[in-house]
Amino acid sequence: MKKDFLLDIIKSLRKGLRLRDIAKKFNISKQNLHYHISVLKRIKAVDKIGYGVWEVYENAELKVKKLVTKSTRITDVSMKDLSKEIPISKKRFKEILHSRGMDTCVVCDNDLIQIHRIKPESKGGINEIFNLIPLCPNHHLDIHKFGINDYYKGKINSFYEKLEKVTVRNRIRGHGFQFRLKVKELRGWNQENRIKFYKKKGIPYYKLKVFGGGEGIVVNKKKVWITNKSVIIFDKASIIKNTAKEVFEEELNKIIDLIEKIEGMFKTSFKINGKYKFKVTRQHYARMKDDLAKEYNRKNKKLYIYNEKGLWFVIDNSFNLEESETVHPKTAKRDMDKAIVPFFNSLQENQGYTPRFVLDALGKNLELMNGIQQNQLIFDRNMKSHLEVLDKLGNEVKRLSNVISGVVKENKKLKLGDQTTLGDF
């Protein structure tokens, strides 16, 4: 992350520019901009005080300049999101290597190791797992004296390839969740009474500019919109698991805990006939360090696949995480677990495949998707017409890429209006 860019965002906010104008000004996605805004909020350089209204603190620029550059790489090496551990201590890095059986010198396999930083701190290097390597004292001294030659580069690249494979590659990162909880008719449940309650309890809030009115508050560091008919919960945090189903189950538990806390705040119950009635209105599942995403990112290309209901599969490298994402609000979880993962796993597990095998495997795995046949057809059709297949998948698949060109790019602004009920899961 470039500090200069953070400073440019601060300048734009001071001028009163809205986020959409800032994104347009710097030609970046809203998703990417929101990530940088979250960094500024985390270091307490800016704060949102109302709808579209931001406060920039007087010492904001100083805080940015003191910020240790942080990688946008998700380093889920202890089976959880370790993004909060960047920079990571060398002691912690040793623990990670030990847990993966990789705590030996990358050159000679000596188990007496020291941790070396590839890019030194003087040149902006930080302690993150893909900038650190284990070396024995002799090779550590040798590299400091003579630098990293081609032989060492080969050893280091092999080490990182293995490290990536045993930590984040092909695991599923769930993020960008949004839930809408239906609120039954409650006595006194209106904006006037709620605002009195916020003021009495000293709860910060802002009025929503939405039909029917409502208020925005923060609960457990999550944005929550309260209206007369619903409670809308936004969760930007990442959950990393082996499957999208596991991600969703953990997210669901978090959301139920949050709902119960909100109920406790207002001393009421949102249950209708003994159950919570809510819908998932947004959910993204990303396959991390995906080979297809790497290929697209290497060629600086993007992939958007639509069906008649909207966008459902994306590769755009918004955060340099080399991810392929399923994003449809209703089918994203099943799309990932029942189509995307089985398809690409079948390619990796079979070395003797042909172009016909690739297409057959695609069709076979897509048939496993229950209730989303249109996605199967669209994915098959778009993959045949647009996919630039991995260099690593062999000459036969490369030959297939000559047949594959262009994807449906219209309807990029199509709104995702479908919602998923809890019963679908």
Q: How far is CA 312 from CA 12, 248, 372, 383, in A?
A: 33, 17, 11, 13
Whether residues 201 and 297 share a domain: the answer is no
Work out the mean pLDDT of the chain and round it to a whole number.
76
Question: pLDDT, tens digit, for every residue of 187-233?
Answer: 889 999 999 999 999 999 999 988 888 999 999 889 999 999 999 99
Whether residues 256 and 335 share a domain: the answer is no
Backbone angles phi, psi at 95, to 5 degrees: -65, -40
Q: Does 424 map to a domain?
A: no
Q: What is the pLDDT of residue 258?
A: 93
> How many domains, in total, are found in the chain?
4
- Determine contact, residues 223/209, Cβ cutoff 8 Å: no
What contacts 259, CB < 8 A, 6 or more positions away? 181, 231, 233, 270, 276
Whether residues 274 and 296 share a domain: the answer is no
Question: pLDDT, tens digit, for every residue of 113-129?
Answer: 999 998 887 777 777 77
Whether residues 328 and 354 share a domain: the answer is yes
Whether residues 133 and 177 share a domain: the answer is no
Q: Does 76 map to a domain?
A: no
CA distance 214 to 195: 10
DSSP 275: B
Whether residues 209 and 240 share a domain: the answer is yes
CATH number at residue 12: 1.10.10
Tell me the β-bridge partners of 315. Answer: 303
Q: Does 71 map to a domain?
A: no
Three-state SS for 35?
Answer: helix
Average pLDDT over residues 344-370: 51
Q: Does 73 map to a domain?
A: no
CATH number at residue 106: 1.10.30
Q: Does 410 map to a domain?
A: yes
Closest listed residue to residue 168, CA positions, set 250, 81, 285, 289: 289
Q: What is the pLDDT of residue 266?
A: 92
Write down which residue in 143, 167, 191 finishes a domain.
167
Q: Does 124 map to a domain?
A: yes
Q: Does 370 map to a domain?
A: yes
Percent of the chain with pLDDT over 90: 27
Q: What is the pLDDT of residue 398?
A: 44
Whether residues 163 and 246 share a domain: the answer is no
Whether residues 199 and 308 share a domain: the answer is no
Structural tokens at position 58: 């007087």
Whether residues 259 and 306 share a domain: the answer is no
Whether residues 400 and 294 share a domain: the answer is yes
- pLDDT top residue among 351 and 343: 343
Question: pLDDT, tens digit, for every residue of 50-60?
Answer: 667 788 888 88
Q: Where does the pLDDT of residue 279 fall: very low under 50, low under 70, confident under 90, or very high at 90 and above?
A: very high
Average pLDDT over residues 148-159: 90
Structural tokens at position 325: 């994402």
Domain that holds residue 120: 83-167
CA distance 332 to 314: 11
Write down which residue in 254, 283, 312 finishes a domain.
283
Question: pLDDT, tens digit, for every residue of 91-100?
Answer: 888 888 887 7
- Determine contact, residues 217/204, Cβ cutoff 8 Å: yes
Q: Does 78 map to a domain?
A: no
Whether residues 409 and 314 share a domain: the answer is yes
pTM of the model: 0.54
Angle at which helices 191-201 and 244-266 cross, to 10°? 80
Whether residues 177 and 234 share a domain: the answer is yes
Structural tokens at position 290: 């995906």
